[in-house]
Amino acid sequence: MAQNKNLDEIENSIKNRHRRAEGFAHLGHWQYSIESKVLNSSDEMNRIYGYDPIIYQLTMETKMFYSGHNKLS
């Protein structure tokens, strides 16, 4: 039981560091599951596209996939 708690604390610490690093670098990430058709995006990815991550979660229908944001120069 104590070992599981320690592992949870380590996992939370890693997630928090990752979240802060994304914010500092202004980079985000997303992952799409073909089977479930679910898009999971990081809070910073939502912020980059102008969405409050607490209120809104990006979807495949979100304009980011149909705008110039994802085109390389």
Asked whether the beta carbons of 30 and 40 are under 8 A apart, the reply is yes
- pLDDT at residue 3 in the model: 80
- pLDDT at residue 72 in the model: 41
Tens of pLDDT, residue by residue, the chain (73 residues): 778 889 999 999 999 998 899 889 988 888 888 888 788 888 888 888 888 888 887 777 765 555 555 544 4
Asked whether the beta carbons of 57 and 49 are under 8 A apart, the reply is no
Nearest-angstrom CA–CA distance, 57 and 39: 9
Hey, what amino acid is at 17?
A: R
Nearest-angstrom CA–CA distance, 4 and 30: 28
Q: Can you tell me whether residue 25 is helix, strand or coil?
A: helix
